[in-house]
Amino acid sequence: MRRLLLAALLLAAFAAHADRHVTHRFQTSVPLRSIKRVIVEIPAGEIRVHNGTGNDLVASGSIRREYDDDDERDRFQRGVDDIDIEVFTNRNEAIVRRHFGPHAHGWRMTSLASVDLELALPPGVDIEFETKAGEIWLDGTFGNIDTDLRAGEIHVRTPRANVKELSASTRIGEVHTALGDRQIDREGVFPGTTHFVNPDGGRYTMNLHTTVGEVHVTLTR
């Protein structure tokens, strides 16, 4: 009985500690007009991309930072409240990046605050990720896609008719590709690259790589 009580207390303490975080929510949008390519300059986090209903780029989500001691909470809250996601446009490109205010200084805030980003894009826009760690989820119709994670997962669901060429790879991990007419699964150390060229055409290329992690691709009919 004592062991069960001790285990319950430890579990409760762990759950309470795991819930020690401060959060700042954000949302911003810009009309894309002549924008043809979107570059995501978020170094780490969970990023979900889908098609929106208009011709705007809409970025929403939250900045999150864990804290250990109660006396850190207010300071960390001021820090995350001073971190936002901004969209910088330059001719035919849009860059999605973090913006740090005066309270968001020091590596404990600039490097350790995590980003959960939801990105809505019009169909057919190219997207390039400079993200190196985390999870990337894409569901919809896009232009060319380029990702190169060091560690994490990539999940893509997109119409097969739009894809001209696909390259999906990892050095350590798993690559699962559902190509519409067949399924290719690779696992282990140096599992190889799944290379697909659409015999029915398509316009866009997808380069999906993570050094350590998983790549999942579904080409829909």
Give the pLDDT confidence of 109-127 residue by residue, as tens digits. 667 678 999 999 999 999 9
Domain ranges within the chain, ordered by starting residue: 21-220
Residues 6+ apart with CB under 8 A from 14: none
- What is the rounded distance in angstroms from the CA atom of residue 164 to the CA atom of residue 75? 50
Give the per-residue SS3 of the chain: CHHHHHHHHHHHHHHHHHCCEEEEEEEEEEECCCCCEEEEECCEEEEEEEECCCCEEEEEEEEEEECCCHHHHHHHHHHHHCEEEEEEEECCEEEEEEEECCCCCCHHHHCCCEEEEEEEECCCCEEEECCCEEEEEEECCCCCEEEEEEEEEEEEEEEHHHEEEEEEEEEEEEEEEECCCCEEEEEEECCCEEEEECCCCCCEEEEEEEEEEEEEEEEEC
- What is the rounded distance in angstroms from the CA atom of residue 180 to the CA atom of residue 157? 11
Q: Mean pLDDT over residues 194-199, rounded?
A: 95
pLDDT confidence bin for 10, thresholds 50/70/90: very low
Q: Does 37 score more than 60 pLDDT?
A: yes
pTM beyond 0.75: the answer is yes
Q: What is the pLDDT of residue 19?
A: 66
pLDDT digits (tens, 9 = 90+) for 134-143: 999 999 999 9
Q: What is the pLDDT of residue 110?
A: 65
Q: What is the pLDDT of residue 112?
A: 65
Q: What is the pLDDT of residue 12?
A: 43
pLDDT confidence bin for 101, thresholds 50/70/90: confident
Higher-scoring residue by pLDDT: 81, 220: 220
Q: Does 216 score more than 90 pLDDT?
A: yes
Q: What is the pLDDT of residue 70?
A: 76
What angle is formed at CA 126 by the lines to CA 26 and CA 207, rounded to 5 degrees? 110
pLDDT confidence bin for 4, thresholds 50/70/90: very low
Q: What is the pLDDT of residue 16?
A: 46
- What is the rounded distance in angstroms from the CA atom of residue 153 to the CA atom of residue 136? 6
* Percentage of the chain lying above the pLDDT 90 cut: 67
pLDDT digits (tens, 9 = 90+) for 42-79: 999 999 999 998 899 999 999 887 777 777 777 777 77
